A and B are shown apart, each in its own frame.
Chain A
């Protein structure tokens, strides 16, 4: 009833709008058409791919991932058994190797990038010029060229024979193949040590927070480190004694061809990590520089007027404000680093891309392998993205 009444009420001045001219219907219709178009487009592509491959007797078969990998991986594994390691497991080893490079790369890039970015703005001529030279050289040459350069360069500067390796204290041995160093392993009682260090850490943080509260309340200097460090040391020492020396050390030993035992970082790993850090940090340095320069100069003057030292100004006033501008583009550089790690194949590093292309070549399942590889890289990148977005959110300007 109410329907009728309202419609007659409207119709008294306007004729009813037919639905094909009603903007709401048109909009909904267009959305539906667009959705259908996108779905059809995707379906057609995938359908064609699957059918054409099947026609050529190369049907997509993810079962190929269950076959044995068949060849050896000399990075990030010990006692690798090629006959009993499936392609899935090999991919997982490759992914771990990629992560080893990416995590080390992200940390190194951040540290070097921030240092170089600050260095570029230094009033010291030498520091400033060196930073600019570094940034311009590494930013303006291709990463692949840099990787080859570092790889071949590292090789020819090292002793040619393993027997002539440089010996550093430790003992650490450096040669053209790897950096060999002692392997430190936890013994059976190591858990006791870890437990006590954990307790010490928790207690230390508790004291840290308590001291900050005291500072807020009374205005006394907090001196947090004076409380934190001794706590950690006492518990660490207690744990060490209780566990009776929780670690065993295995030194690398020179055998006929190579060092065996101990741990090592291969030249390929070092090259890729160092190369990625040097390349990406050059971009990060410029982002940091831009972020710092965007902080109004009045802030720095105000800090100086308050009696802050140069270091305090940077640490407490400039960087926190600059960080807000730095983080979004920094996230992009992190993503670039993660994706560029796939260039490791050029120097024979066993990352996930290298392993995947071996699988692709040995099984012929290129479409399946590349689909999995894209999923892996997408997953890695999205994780980095998620973290950076969270950081960005927590750093946002809160207006009060």
Chain B
């Protein structure tokens, strides 16, 4: 009896080993687009704690924000419409966001992530088109009596760990030869808490994020964002490297919102444009025989679905972070190229 069980154990161990030794079936062969379709849902990585960009609304329980709306645009492009089933938001911290792409836990990351050469080259991820041109700023209580970063020798500064911002503020302070203390936290809420409760004199982050965090404080009027912008922060969606089909889908969904703004196509007037006889508009909206979405492996009229779901780039901007929101950000660099900004879509033909 005893010997029998021993042999059984051995056989089991061998079977397990052979199973392991077989090369692990890799998911790389099929595109993420196919996987998303097969799964029936898009898994989108967002911030979750940043008002204006990706924020879980406490009243409705919905994920709101600029980044979240681009997730919706992508879901609409793939599935035709956004339902509660076909779009799953995953909240990620700054620390874990790229690992989540590498491990294929998320299909795409819309999480105010800065596009850098090191991340692009070394992390096994690719970046799409920049959706928000940002820069790093410094926010202080207005009663601190500071008017620029040059006044901040000796200050304690709160910063989010694992970001480009902690590198930039280090360089900015070292360059000025200042003494300083960096207080690093893992979550945006803890950084703004550190400023509110006097752990730090200042908070540094992307200007858009500072505006978002300020809008969530008890008294937003108490804080000012200094005029210094110490870095370039192109906030860009990211996805796994080496999946060209998926890369094209993400890119052209973003471009569709930009091109729509250029054509002045909005959520409200999309039906008029669908009926348009203009060849360029027809091609853009995938009407008639003109190939548009089919080139990307999507519905030919996917642009119509995207605009119906979230509107054009300008609408997404104004709804979430524009001048009439608590963040009150102007378009600035994020205006269309026709209006002196950097937002530009390649040719749609």
Which residues of chain A have a CB within 8 Å of any CB of chain B? 30, 33-34, 37, 40-41, 44-45, 48, 52, 55-58, 70-74, 81-83, 152, 155-156, 160-162, 176-177, 255-258, 260, 267, 345-346, 348, 350, 354, 357-358, 360-364, 366
Contact = CB atoms under 8 A, between A and B. Distances in A.
Indicate the member of A55, A58, A360 with the most B CB atoms within 10 Å: A58
B298 interface: no
B176 to A, nearest CB: 13
B122 interface: yes
B185 interface: yes
Given A58-B123, A362-B162, A72 B199 contact: no
Contacts of B280: none
A208 to B, nearest CB: 46
Contact of B20 (A44, A83, A161, A360): A44
Indicate the member of B118, B122, B173, B199 with the most A CB atoms within 10 Å: B199
Given A37-B14, A156-B197, A362-B167, A55 B181 contact: no
Across the A-B interface, the 4 shortest Cβ-Cβ residue pairs? A361-B162, A58-B124, A364-B123, A257-B155
Interface residues of B, number: 53
A274 to B, nearest CB: 17
Contacts of B194: 348
Contacts of B179: 260
Interface stretch (B50-58, B94-102, B130-138, B267-275): B94-102
B182 A357 contact: no
Given A71-B166, A83-B174, A361-B162, 6 more contacts: A44-B20, A55-B28, A71-B182, A362-B167, A363-B122, A364-B118
A189 to B, nearest CB: 30
B124 A177 contact: no
B184 A364 contact: no
A258 B152 CA distance: 11
B102 A58 contact: yes
A354 B184 contact: yes
17 contacts: A55-B26, A56-B242, A57-B124, A57-B242, A58-B124, A71-B182, A72-B173, A160-B197, A256-B154, A257-B153, A348-B161, A348-B183, A348-B185, A348-B186, A361-B162, A361-B163, A364-B119
B104 to A, nearest CB: 10
Nearest to A164: B198
Contacts of A257: 152-156, 201
B228 to A, nearest CB: 17
Given A70-B170, A71-B166, A358-B161, A37 B17 contact: yes
A41 B20 CA distance: 8
B180 interface: yes
Contacts of A346: 186
A44 B161 contact: no
B39 interface: no
B274 to A, nearest CB: 41
A161 B143 CA distance: 12
Contacts of A362: 118, 162, 167
B6 interface: yes
Chain A binding surface, main DSSP class: helix
B241 interface: yes
A137 B114 CA distance: 44
A252 to B, nearest CB: 12
B333 interface: no
A82 B122 contact: no
Contacts of B186: 345-346, 348
A37 B181 contact: no
B24 interface: yes
B119 A260 contact: no
B190 interface: yes
Contacts of A156: 197
A357 B119 contact: no
A183 B186 CA distance: 31
Given A37-B17, A255-B154, A357-B162, A72 B170 contact: yes
Interface in B260-295: none
A78 B163 CA distance: 23
A6 to B, nearest CB: 29
Contact of A176 (B173, B198, B241): B198
Contacts of B166: 71, 358
Contacts of A161: 198
Contact of A267 (B28, B162, B199): B199
B229 interface: no
B12 to A, nearest CB: 11
Contacts of B95: 357, 360-361
A255 to B, nearest CB: 5
Contacts of B118: 362-364
B13 interface: yes
B279 to A, nearest CB: 42
B21 interface: yes
B10 A30 contact: yes
Nearest to B21: A44
Given A30-B6, A358-B161, A364-B123, A82 B174 contact: yes
A161 to B, nearest CB: 7
Contact of A52 (B24, B99, B182): B24
A250 to B, nearest CB: 15
Interface string B68-103: 000000000000000000000000001100110010
Contacts of B23: 48
Given A56-B124, A257-B155, A364-B122, A348 B190 contact: yes
Given A57-B124, A57-B242, A362-B162, A72 B13 contact: no
B17 A364 contact: no
A286 B2 CA distance: 42
